[in-house]
């Protein structure tokens, strides 16, 4: 049987309340949190409404607002779960976000414009900082990750926490999402003309969204662990699904096929039927295209069942990367208390018109209702085409654990800067239209890509070609991608924000805004290749490029996918160089850029395709140190190496070569010391001497280099290990 994952703690801060009790009471009372925006000026904008959080005691003022909201919700969730100090210290943090540290970017650029910039804000700008800052503030030392798949990120974070529990990476995780109310998001959706002039009215008037902010955090715990400590259990995570539309970067597939597929994936994961679902907390944004596609999906899946449906966004607004987590909290409460939250804003005339659209589906409007809820589903559909669906159950829910297959590297692609070509300590990759036409990319696609997306597309296409993969209707849903990045689309985000700071919220560009979300590169790749499997982007410092490989192996272990592409991508530019030099993140290394991708494939799929196997992924491990107690980062690195070897069933003496991307500062010497202690006399290879520091791309490139060396019979085994944001990933190849 699969390890069971249960919810033992809840924490939330959102436009309808600063804690769980206030928020839930507001939701079941049909109280709105939407009002005129006060955070920044909306002068000249056609819409001026939002769901803002007003809280006088947000913790950690030294961090970005996204992290502060997250910490507030996490503190409540920890208290609710009644974890002791030792249990807390072992907990991991998986946080979803759409816009990351956008508020810090706004604050920095506004201060810069006024001649008072503060470089201490720079480390808060990347989404990579959120989980790390949360872990540091709360002294949590379990595995961390920031899932940055826009509006599906909060839901995906809960699912990933379950995957990590089932793969043995921890017993307790704080999982959810966070996003602040920001001028970047407001200006972007304003430019797309996607905002509603009135409060959003999902499945009703469908004129547009109203943005919100907040954080929802759930304590996800292994069932036996929870029972052993006498924890209260709200609900069980019965199943979940993640996929890609591969249709459009901002619009859903109007056929609803991607949404229907992800709902069916969740049902299949839970091993239940649509008729078992009592309640669906719908994505329900209030835009015409989203509501129309979701109506179609819900009708197709649930017509003829006893399901009840509502959208709590009608009260909270769309909280972006926090949305799925905020809605998961409400869905868990619905299950535990047998209460259906409403969709508010329906007039009597609207209610009379509803049956024409809803048919026999039970839409809960204006007032909450009591209903016995055995299973409840929460859905999230995002920019980049990412879809996520999760199911919570009231009672004990057991599912079978499928037989694990071996995982092989069957292809790779790599495009990296050359350190010898560096100018002023910065090395770049030059790409032109020819680089794309040679790979079958048309001009129309090329023009939609920023540099981050260009790098990812090139390495991904090369990896596909290297592995000899042909995407067909038969396999398109069984091929997925995990992209790791340290800083994401820095240049696009910074330029977009600077324009808003200089000219106001009406100056947002509808053309460039989609590329400000971290998962846009993954979305463009899925659209170009037609791959519709699991699609995620993880931002977690340099090691995210290696963590993506471990993440992809976990996805393959679930059995929905046969092939996963795992990447590391980070761009370089004048803007990136400026931020890195001012924050001294890069130490004395040359700053590079690039993208590296490996194709990971189950043994049965590789054998069926007669694919070339470069190396086998024998074992892997992830660790983290919050840096606030006796468990140091050096300890965390050592633990990752030892655990990866154990999972591979190997001894240190069996490793022939080490490939390592270590810290750029003094800590890096300690990390090398750990490797030399465990592997005396072994060669330690660091690709950054040739490429410059390409961050997540460097971390992924070491696994490409190790697999090539094994394939060439230079070595028989290799250990790859990388650092980033207090986290370590170690992977053993043979």
Q: Enumerate the active-site residues.
A: 151, 283, 318
Answer whether 67's CB lies under 8 Å from 156's CB.
no
Q: Is the Cα dihedral 126, 127, 129, 134 positive or negative?
A: positive
- For residue 486, which of 666, 724, 145 has the smallest C-alpha distance? 724
Q: Is 630 exposed, middle or buried (0-12, 13-18, 19+ CB in 10 A)?
A: exposed
**CA-based nearest residue to 249, from 127, 379, 444, 382:** 382
- Rounded CA-CA distance 486/329 in Å is 29
Q: Which residue has the tokens 């194709």?
A: 599
Q: Report residue 73 as tokens.
A: 């919700």
Are residues 334 and 279 in contact, defined by beta-carbon separation less than 8 angstroms?
A: yes
Per the document, the length of the chain is: 734
Say how far apart CA 596 and CA 455 lie, in whole Å. 9
Q: What are phi and psi of 228, to 5 degrees?
A: -60, -30
Closest to 365 in 3D by CA, of 339, 335, 337, 345 = 345
- Of 131, 122, 127, nearest to 104 (Cα)? 122
DSSP bridge partners of 375: 393
**CA-to-CA distance for 97 and 78, rounded, in angstroms?**
20
Dump the DSSP string for 59-105. Answer: S-TTS-HHHHHHHHHHHHHHHHHT--HHHHHT-EEEEE-SSTTHHHH
Task: Return the percent helix, strand and coil in the chain, to nearest 5.
Answer: 40, 20, 35
Cα(454)–Cα(148) distance, integer angstroms:
18
The answer to whether the beta carbons of residues 505 and 41 sit under 8 Å apart is yes
């Amino acid at each position: 049987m699969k390890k069971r994952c249960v919810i033992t703690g809840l924490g939330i801060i959102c436009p309808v309340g600063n804690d769980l009790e206030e928020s839930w009471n507001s939701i079941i009372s049909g109280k709105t949190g939407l009002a005129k925006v006060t955070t920044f000026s909306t002068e000249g904008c056609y819409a001026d409404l939002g769901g803002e959080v007003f809280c006088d005691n947000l913790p950690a003022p030294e961090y970005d607002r996204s992290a502060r909201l997250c910490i507030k919700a996490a503190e409540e969730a920890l208290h609710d779960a009644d974890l002791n100090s030792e249990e807390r210290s072992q907990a991991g943090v998986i946080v979803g976000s759409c816009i990351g540290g956008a508020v810090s970017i706004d604050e920095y650029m506004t201060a810069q414009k006024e001649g008072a910039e503060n470089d201490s804000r720079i480390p808060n700008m990347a989404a990579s900082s959120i989980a790390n800052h949360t872990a540091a503030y709360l002294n949590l030392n379990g595995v961390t990750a920031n899932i940055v798949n826009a509006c599906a990120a909060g839901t995906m974070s809960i699912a990933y926490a379950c995957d990590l529990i089932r793969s043995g990476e921890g017993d307790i995780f704080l999982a959810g999402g966070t996003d602040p109310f920001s001028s970047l998001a407001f200006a972007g959706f304003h430019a797309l003309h996607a905002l509603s002039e009135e409060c959003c009215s999902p499945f009703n008037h469908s004129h547009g969204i109203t943005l919100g902010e907040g954080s929802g955090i759930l304590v996800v715990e292994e069932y036996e662990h929870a029972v052993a400590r006498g924890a209260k259990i709200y609900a069980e995570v019965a199943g979940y699904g993640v996929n890609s539309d591969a249709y459009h970067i901002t619009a859903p597939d109007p056929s609803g096929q991607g949404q229907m597929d992800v709902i069916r994936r969740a049902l299949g994961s839970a091993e239940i039927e649509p008729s078992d679902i009592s309640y669906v907390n719908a994505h329900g944004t209030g835009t015409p295209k989203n509501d129309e596609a979701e109506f179609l999906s819900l009708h197709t899946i649930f017509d003829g069942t006893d399901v009840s449906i509502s959208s709590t966004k009608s009260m909270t607004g769309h909280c972006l990367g926090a949305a799925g987590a905020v809605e998961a909290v409400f869905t868990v409460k619905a299950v535990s208390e047998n209460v259906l939250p409403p969709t508010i804003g329906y007039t009597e005339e609207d209610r009379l018109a509803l049956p024409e659209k809803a048919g026999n589906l039970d839409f809960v409007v204006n007032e909450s209702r009591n209903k016995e809820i055995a299973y409840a589903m929460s859905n999230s559909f995002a920019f980049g085409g990412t879809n996520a669906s999760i199911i919570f159950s009231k009672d004990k829910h057991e599912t079978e654990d499928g037989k694990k297959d071996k995982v092989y590297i069957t292809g790779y692609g790599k495009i990296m800067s050359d350190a010898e070509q560096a100018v002023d300590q910065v090395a770049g990759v030059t790409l032109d239209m020819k680089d794309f036409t040679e790979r079958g990319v048309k001009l129309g696609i090329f023009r939609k890509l920023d540099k981050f997306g260009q790098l990812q597309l090139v390495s991904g296409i090369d990896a596909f070609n290297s592995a000899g993969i042909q995407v067909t209707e038969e396999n398109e849903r069984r091929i997925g991608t995990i992209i790791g990045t340290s800083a994401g689309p820095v240049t696009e985000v910074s330029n977009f924000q600077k324009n808003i700071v200089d000219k106001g919220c009406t100056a947002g560009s509808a053309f460039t805004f989609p590329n400000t979300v971290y998962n846009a590169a993954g979305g463009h790749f899925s659209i170009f290749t037609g791959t519709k499997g699991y699609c995620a982007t993880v931002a977690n410092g340099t090691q995210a490029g290696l963590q993506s490989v471990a993440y992809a192996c976990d996805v393959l272990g679930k059995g929905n996918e046969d092939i996963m592409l795992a990447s590391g991508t980070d761009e370089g530019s004048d803007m990136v160089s400026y931020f890195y030099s001012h924050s001294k993140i890069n130490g004395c290394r040359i700053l590079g850029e690039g993208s590296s991708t490996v194709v990971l494939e189950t043994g049965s799929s590789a054998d069926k395709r007669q694919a070339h196997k470069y190396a086998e992924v024998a074992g892997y491990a992830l660790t983290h140190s919050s840096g606030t107690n006796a468990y140091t980062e050096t300890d965390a690195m050592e633990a990752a190496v030892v655990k990866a070897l154990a999972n591979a069933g190997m001894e240190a003496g069996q490793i022939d070569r080490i490939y390592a991307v270590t810290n750029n500062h003094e800590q890096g010497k300690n990390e090398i010391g750990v490797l030399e202690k465990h592997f005396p006399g072994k060669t330690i290879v660091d690709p950054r001497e040739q490429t410059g520091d390409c961050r997540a791309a460097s971390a992924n490139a070491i696994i490409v280099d190790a697999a090539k060396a094994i394939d060439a019979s230079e070595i028989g085994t290799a250990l790859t290990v990388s650092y980033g944001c207090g986290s370590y990933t170690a992977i053993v190849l043979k």
